[in-house]
Amino acid sequence: MKSVCRTNLLALAGAAMICQLQPVGAEELTIMATGGAWQAALRQAWFEPFAKKAGVKFNEQEYTGELGKIKAMVETGNVPIDLVTVETSTVLQGCDAGVLIRIDYSKVADRSRFLPGTALDCGVGIDVYGDVLAYDTSVLKEAPTSVLDIFDTKKFPGKRAMRKAPAQNLEWALMADGVPIAEVYKVLGTPDGVDRAFKKLDTIKKDIVWWDAGAQPPQLLASKEVIMTTAWNGRIQSAIDQDKRPFAIVWDNQIVEYDMIAIPKGAKNLDLAYKYLAYVAQPDVGAQLGRFIPYGPVLSDSTPFVPKDVLPKLPTAPDHMKNYLVGDVEFWGDHGEDLVKRFNAWLAQ
């Protein structure tokens, strides 16, 4: 038994984490998520009902979704969290780096019930979101009809915001350059395709404001710093529903992505973490999140449980699934590091 924090050479990196003493007796589950409107929705949809049902105490922490913090915890041998929400590409990265444990699906749910690409070795999908285009209806007289309109500076002059990452932007650039959706990743896998995508981005480079956090797009629109922005659909919907902002979402050419939940190596309450994963993987429970933020369920048998008034706001609504691309996790696992470096070099030029 370790009674003191293990001091390690990486103590500096781990300094942000405080050693926690486990209380005797009471069962506790600690989850770290990426905050904002999304974490509030998770709390209402899943954390609180589960805590009540299982009779456990639920601790929440917030972070920015980066794997560095979890890696520091695992390497210093002091892991105060049991579950963590991450992006799909981060699951692959965490798996590769030996930071996340491999999920034993026999303790969660039948893997075939998940939509393709949402039951990964080291992470379980929890919701479906869309990378979309958003704009302020009180600013733009003429409405954009496709995400690709972000490349049209003639029709829509002014600053536009995009996420400061190559993922999604390169895909959209190729689509805007005339590559059919089905061939986007095939083209992007070649050096010529990458050049072509960056060349397309070049055409609007000086008009772009870059965002890092999901909360920024609605802020950039609200402060009128930009006329349109790429965004995660739920953040914009929250601004429309709760803050009564005159924003609108453009779904055509959206890129569909998944949020994941994972267990860091060395998590102390492993059984309870699995119990939580199994709880959320029930068809009716899986559909609950949509009531609080418009993200869709990842379980194929959850759809009937999604409330009728929520369905039209989801990225998976039939109306929104006409012209779309599913983000390719494997592609970004292979080429992510390389393309991020290329992207940073391109930004710096």
Partner 1 sequence: MSSIAMPTPKTWISARDHSDSLRPLALAAPLLLLLLFSFGAPIVALLSRAVYEPTIANALPHTIAALRQDSGAGVPDETVFRAFATDLKDGQAAGTVYELAKNLNTRLPGVRSQVLRVTRLAAQDPAATKEAMIKAAPMLGEEKSWSAIRAGTNRFTSFFLLSAFDLRWTGQWTIGTVPADQAVFLRVFGRTFLIATLVTLATLALAFPLAYLMTNLRPAIASIVLVLVLLPFWTSILVRTAAWTVILQKYGILNDLMLWLGVTSDRIELMYSRTGLIIAMTHIQLPFTLLPIYSVMRSVQPSQLRAAQSLGGRPFTVFRRIYLPQVMPGVLAGCLLTFILCLGYYITPVLIGGASDQLISNFIANYVNAELNWEMAAALSFVLLASTLGLYITMTRYLGLDLFKMG
Smaller CB separation from partner 1, 40 or 139: 139
Smaller CB separation from partner 1, 3 or 349: 349
> How many CA atoms are closer than 13 Å to the CA of 183, on its beta-carbon side?
10
Smaller CB separation from partner 1, 143 or 345: 345
- Shortest spacing between CB 334 and partner 1, in angstroms: 5
- Shortest spacing between CB 96 and partner 1, in angstroms: 4
Under 8 Å between Cβ of 325 and 167: no
Distance of CA 147 to the CA centre of its chain: 18
Residues 104, 119: Cα–Cα separation, whole Å: 11
Residues 123, 92: Cα–Cα separation, whole Å: 8
Nearest Cα neighbor of 95 from 116, 115, 124 is 124
Smaller CB separation from partner 1, 164 or 291: 164
- Shortest spacing between CB 194 and partner 1, in angstroms: 9
- Shortest spacing between CB 21 and partner 1, in angstroms: 22
Smaller CB separation from partner 1, 284 or 338: 338
Between β-strands 160-163 and 83-87, what pairing exists: parallel, antiparallel or unpaired?
A: unpaired
Smaller CB separation from partner 1, 71 or 275: 71
Smaller CB separation from partner 1, 65 or 290: 65
- Shortest spacing between CB 320 and partner 1, in angstroms: 29
Residues 232, 254: Cα–Cα separation, whole Å: 10
Point out which residues bind partner 1 (CB under 8 A): 9-13, 64, 66-69, 71, 93, 95-99, 102, 159, 164, 189, 198, 208-210, 212, 223-225, 330, 333-335, 337-338, 340-342, 344-349
List of residues 6+ apart from 99 with CB closer than 8 A: 67, 70, 71, 74, 264, 265
Residues 303, 250: Cα–Cα separation, whole Å: 23
Nearest Cα neighbor of 94 from 116, 119, 64, 74 is 74
Burial track 50-63 (b if 16+ CB lie within 10 A, e otherwise): bbeeeebebbeeeb
Smaller CB separation from partner 1, 97 or 278: 97
Under 8 Å between Cβ of 279 and 203: no
- Shortest spacing between CB 101 and partner 1, in angstroms: 9
- Shortest spacing between CB 208 and partner 1, in angstroms: 7
DSSP string, 81-114: -SEEEEEHHHHHHHHHTT-BPPP-GGGT--GGGB
Residues 154, 157: Cα–Cα separation, whole Å: 6
- Shortest spacing between CB 93 and partner 1, in angstroms: 6
> How many CA atoms are closer than 13 Å to the CA of 323, on its beta-carbon side?
13
Smaller CB separation from partner 1, 197 or 314: 197
- Shortest spacing between CB 323 and partner 1, in angstroms: 28
Rounded to the nearest 5°, which phi and psi values hold at 127? -160, 165
